[in-house]
Amino acid sequence: MDSTIEDFKKEVLDNRQNFRQNAPFSVEKTYEFDNTKPLEKVTEFKNACFDLRQKEEDMKPGLEIFEYEAV
């Protein structure tokens, strides 16, 4: 169980770092402004967060058995 929790924590931290490095925080100045790619990136990160939240929900019953508190 501890390794599963540690793996999950690492996955969350990796996702956060990936977002900080790759999220569209600024606009690339081009002649034609196209927001499709930034929206795709945001959607990708949003889906990754949703998946991690779902994974956390799935783990909650096991965490409660061992008196771990889900964050």
pLDDT of 66: 63
Q: Is 33 helix (H, G, I), strand (E, B) or coil?
A: coil
Looking at the 3D structure of the chain, how many domains does it have? 1
Helix pair 36-65, 2-22: axis angle to 10 deg:
160
**29: in domain:** no
Question: Could you report the per-residue pLDDT of 1-57, keeping only the tens digit for each?
Answer: 567 888 999 999 999 999 999 998 877 666 566 788 888 999 999 999 999 999 988
CB atoms within 10 A of CB 52: 15
Residue 60, in any domain of the structure: yes
Q: What is the pLDDT of residue 34?
A: 75
One-letter amino acid identity for 31?
Answer: Y
Whether 30 maps to a domain, the answer reads no
**Owning domain of residue 16:** 2-22+35-65
**Cα separation of 16 and 25, whole Å?**
14
28 inside domain = no
